[in-house]
Amino acid sequence: RRYSRITGTGSYLPPRRLTNADLVAELAQRGIETSDEWIVERTGIRARHFAAPDVACSDLGLEAARNALQAAGLLPTDIDLIIVATSTPDMVFPSAACILQNKLGANGCPAFDVQAVCSGFVYALSVADAMIQTGAANRALVIGAEVFSRILDFNDRTTCVLFGDGAGAVVLEASETPGILSSDLHADGKHVGILCVPGNVSGGKVLGDPVLKMDGQAVFKLAVGVLEKAAHAVLAKAGLTEADIDWLIPHQANIRIMQGTARKLKLSMDKVVVTVDQHGNTSAASIPLALDHAVRAGQVKKGETLLLEGVGGGFTWGAVLLKL
């Protein structure tokens, strides 16, 4: 049997870092009142990074991809598949993946975006795994890259304090030993309205409101339940139990969602990789960013069993269980 395995990780954060205090001061200039205490208590977020105006999704993804290739000891021309998970691509079309492919110098291989908002990375990783298993690809770059700062309404304090920009990437290679053990993906489109950017481009104009809208409590209530189900599904498919998990690397939306998920899975928080405090919610980038930070910090090691979990707009959710 043919499997896929992560052979390198990389990430990139734009240099401009805003602490809660920095953001509080910026928002105060608009007459918007918030505080470090409120943000930390409700979300666990202490800082986030924002990209400069001339930096696009593909630029962040490119840096993360280069770092992942270096870690895997590969050249761009070794890659035969590029998937970018993003909801904030450079343009309506072509995909961020095509733009990134050209900047990287990996021209010729298939390249496309996967749009599943905060679940995007687990979706993209599952697609790449399936393509490697069937022999359609041998060496894939799977990237999560986002510039959520572009779609935030800085007059809406309930959402603009939550998100940040960044990118993470993995190299996924064909292997005789597993790697990715199982995956489980879902969507339920009846919840479109609880988390969306309803605007679009039409007739040369922006139609509707092109900023993020969220019913935070509805998202919170759905998130913990579906994450528990997805975790149990991937464990059952692989014939493993909660006790086999070395690390939970969840989508970094909010520390309280992560604590709730860990509790349901009977995992102590010291088995959960947490970067939301420093990165905020970077949507599709959050899981590969957290993975790369944990690998480079020596926290997560080769041979360990990792549970990756994403949940986000759509409503979408999913999990990937893997051996690093």
Q: What's the rounded Cα separation, in Å, for the pair 310 and 230?
A: 9
Note whether 161 binds ligand ACO by CB under 6 A.
yes
CB 279, CB 13: distance < 8 Å: yes
The residue from 56, 132, 223, 300 that contacts ligand ACO (CB under 6 A) is: 223
State the minimum distance, in angstroms, from the CB of residue 141 to ligand ACO. 23
State the minimum distance, in angstroms, from the CB of residue 26 to ligand ACO. 13
The strand order across the sheet containing 3-12 reads 3-12, 165-175, 139-147, 81-85, 111-114
Beta strand 305-312 pairing with 247-250: parallel
The residue from 76, 94, 110, 216 that contacts ligand ACO (CB under 6 A) is: 216
Note whether 149 binds ligand ACO by CB under 6 A.
no
Per annotation, catalytic residue among 49, 251, 279, 293: 251
The residue from 96, 143, 311, 322 that contacts ligand ACO (CB under 6 A) is: 311
Q: What's the rounded Cα separation, in Å, for the pair 65 and 67?
A: 5
Q: Considering only residues 265-304, where is the footprint of ligand ACO by CB under 6 A?
A: 281
Main-chain dihedrals φ then ψ at residue 17, nearest 5 degrees: -110, 130
The residue from 177, 202, 217, 268 that contacts ligand ACO (CB under 6 A) is: 217
State the minimum distance, in angstroms, from the CB of residue 297 to ligand ACO. 23
Note whether 158 binds ligand ACO by CB under 6 A.
yes
Main-chain dihedrals φ then ψ at residue 315, nearest 5 degrees: -75, 135
* Backbone angle region of 70, left / alpha / beta, with phi > 0 → left and psi within -120 to 50 → alpha: alpha
Nearer to ligand ACO, 190 or 302 (CB): 190
Q: What's the rounded Cα separation, in Å, for the pair 211 and 215?
A: 14
The residue from 46, 210, 220, 225 that contacts ligand ACO (CB under 6 A) is: 220
Q: What's the rounded Cα separation, in Å, for the pair 120 and 242?
A: 24
Distances (CA, A) of 64 to 60, 102, 216, 263, 276: 7, 15, 30, 32, 18
The angle at the Cα of 123, spanning 121 to 124, to the nearest 5 degrees, equals 65
Give catalytic status of residue 281 as yes or no: yes
How many Cβ atoms are within 10 Å of 183's Cβ, its own excluded? 23
Give catalytic status of residue 49 as yes or no: no
The residue from 253, 290, 291, 320 that contacts ligand ACO (CB under 6 A) is: 253
Site residue total, ligand ACO (CB under 6 A) = 24
Question: Using CB under 6 A, which of the segments 134-142, 185-193, 252-260, 288-296 binds ligand ACO?
Answer: 252-260
Per annotation, catalytic residue among 109, 118, 160, 254: 118
Contact map string, positions 63 to 102, toward ligand ACO, x by CB under 6 A:
----------------------------------------
Place of tokens 């590029």: 82
Q: Look up residue 146 and give its two tokens.
A: 């986002």
Crossing angle for the helix pair 120-134 and 286-296, nearest 10 degrees?
80
Enumerate the active-site residues. Answer: 118, 251, 281
Contacts to ligand ACO by CB under 6 A:
34, 38, 42-43, 118, 157-158, 161-162, 195, 214, 216-217, 219-220, 223, 251, 253-254, 256-257, 281, 311-312
